[in-house]
């Protein structure tokens, strides 16, 4: 049995099968709908959340409670020598900072690594960490190895409406109203942590075209640096599964020799991005 256990949050989009295969513990993220607390994957369905978003109910998110994190770590360290905690990007959530502060109580037994990403790419970082743990790497060694690739993992995403971004303070109310009226779709980029407004496009079709072009550019650059065999291509969506499947087919034609993993976005992110969100990203695997 590995002496180091990897823990992440449900924003990582890891499946039950992946959790079991790699021995990763996933803690559910919390959010609120009209003041009622829900736990991702436990007490609310995706359909119910998107209905609440469309009805413009008050939806907010919060990080995993400190007490719950402490209890989980203490219990796991009864079995394992070390623990590696990988939350979603510290530029997006306070979970990373909280983890770092809490880890100081564990005399070096807990290593906190900023995934600098979200969703499937965050999950890919957790999987790489778990693969190293299975090979006997310590927490500090895992952190050092992941530092080689984390800064270059990349995501591009576009949203159907600017309303949720406006509620989160990323765009003004006037900009959101005008943008929706003119069918302006922002293309957001997550590269080494923060979410940035990368481009603007008129309509979903053009936004997808921008994303595909940027994914191509990133793939070429990263392939030259690391080799295409070390790259993995991902796609994710909000509630628009049919449209996502069609776009995946188009993307697969562009990358015929590389399988694409696609899943729905974690509910925690959908709270901020809203229905109709769709995106793609690239992660880099370590040479183990």
Same-domain status, 113 and 228: no
| Pairwise CA distance, residues 145 & 147, whole Å | 5
The answer as to whether 47 is a domain residue is no
Q: What does the pLDDT read at residue 50?
A: 87
Instruction: Answer with the one of 148, 176, 195 that is the final residue of a domain.
Output: 148
Cα distances from 106 to residues 5, 81, 146, in angstroms, run 14, 11, 22
Phi, psi of 12 (to 5 degrees): -80, -10
Same-domain status, 12 and 133: yes
The answer as to whether 265 is a domain residue is yes
Same-domain status, 219 and 240: yes
Same-domain status, 22 and 115: yes
Sequence-distant contacts of 138-146: CB under 8 A, at least 24 apart: 138/3, 138/4, 138/82, 139/4, 139/82, 139/83, 139/84, 139/109, 139/110, 139/111, 140/111, 142/4, 142/84, 142/111, 142/113, 143/84, 143/111, 143/113, 145/286, 146/113, 146/286
Phi, psi of 119 (to 5 degrees): 50, -135
Q: What does the pLDDT read at residue 100?
A: 97
The answer as to whether 250 is a domain residue is yes
Same-domain status, 141 and 155: no
The answer as to whether 52 is a domain residue is no
Same-domain status, 159 and 126: no
Look up the CATH number of the domain holding residue 192.
3.30.1180.10
Tokens in use for 153? 């993992």
Instruction: Answer with the one of 115, 132, 148 that is the final residue of a domain.
Output: 148
| Pairwise CA distance, residues 126 & 7, whole Å | 8
Q: What does the pLDDT read at residue 161?
A: 61
Tell me how many domains the chain contains: 2
Same-domain status, 16 and 105: yes
Look up the CATH number of the domain holding residue 24.
3.40.50.10170
The answer as to whether 40 is a domain residue is no
Q: pLDDT 10s digit of each residue in the chain, 288 long?
A: 679 999 999 999 999 999 999 999 999 999 899 999 999 988 888 889 889 988 888 888 899 999 999 999 999 999 999 999 999 999 988 999 999 999 999 999 999 999 999 999 999 999 999 999 999 999 999 999 999 999 999 999 998 765 555 454 444 333 333 344 346 788 889 999 888 888 888 888 999 999 999 999 999 999 999 999 999 999 999 988 999 999 999 999 999 999 999 999 999 888 888 788 999 999 999 975
Same-domain status, 204 and 233: yes
Domain carrying residue 74: 4-30+63-148
Terminal C-alpha separation, the chain: 18
Q: What does the pLDDT read at residue 146?
A: 98
Same-domain status, 130 and 259: no
User: H-type helices in the chain, by residue range?
Assistant: 16-22, 46-54, 66-76, 95-103, 119-134, 139-146, 163-167, 173-181, 204-226, 241-254, 267-273
Same-domain status, 116 and 197: no
Same-domain status, 123 and 211: no
155 closest CA partner among 196, 126, 113, 204: 196
Q: Please give the torsion angle defined by the CA atoms of residues 226, 228, 232 and 236, in that order, rounded to the nearest 10 degrees.
A: 110
Q: What does the pLDDT read at residue 200?
A: 84
Instruction: Answer with the one of 101, 131, 148 that is the final residue of a domain.
Output: 148
Same-domain status, 177 and 120: no
Neighbouring C-beta atoms of residue 129, cutoff 10 Å: 29
| CA atoms within a 13 Å half-sphere pointing along the CA-CB vector of 246 | 5
The answer as to whether 275 is a domain residue is yes
The answer as to whether 46 is a domain residue is no
């Amino acid at each position: 049995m590995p002496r180091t256990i990897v823990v992440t949050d449900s924003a990582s989009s890891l499946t039950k099968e992946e959790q079991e295969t790699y021995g990763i513990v996933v803690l559910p993220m919390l959010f609120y709908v009209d003041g009622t607390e829900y736990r991702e994957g436990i007490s609310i369905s995706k359909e119910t959340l998107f209905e609440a978003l469309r009805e413009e109910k008050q939806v907010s998110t919060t990080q995993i409670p400190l007490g719950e994190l402490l209890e989980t770590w203490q219990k796991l360290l009864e079995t394992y020598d070390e623990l590696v905690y990988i939350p979603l990007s510290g530029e997006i959530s306070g979970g990373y900072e909280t983890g770092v502060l809490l880890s100081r109580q564990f005399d070096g037994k807990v290593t906190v690594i900023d995934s600098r990403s979200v969703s499937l790419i965050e999950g890919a970082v957790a999987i790489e960490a778990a693969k190293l743990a299975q090979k006997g790497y310590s927490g500090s060694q895992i952190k050092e190895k992941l530092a080689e690739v984390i800064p270059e993992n990349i995501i591009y995403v576009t949203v159907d409406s600017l309303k949720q971004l406006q509620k989160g303070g990323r765009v003004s109310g006037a900009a959101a109203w005008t943008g929706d009226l003119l069918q302006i779709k922002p293309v957001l980029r997550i590269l080494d942590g923060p979410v940035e407004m990368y481009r603007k496009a008129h309509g979903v079709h053009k936004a997808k075209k921008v994303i595909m072009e940027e994914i191509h550019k990133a793939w070429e650059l990263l392939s030259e640096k690391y080799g295409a065999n070390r790259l993995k291509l991902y796609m994710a969506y909000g509630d628009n599964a049919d449209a996502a499947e069609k776009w995946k087919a188009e993307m697969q034609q562009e990358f015929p020799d590389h399988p694409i993993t696609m899943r729905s976005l974690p509910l925690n992110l959908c709270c901020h991005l809203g229905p109709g969100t769709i995106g793609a990203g690239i992660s880099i695997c370590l040479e183990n």
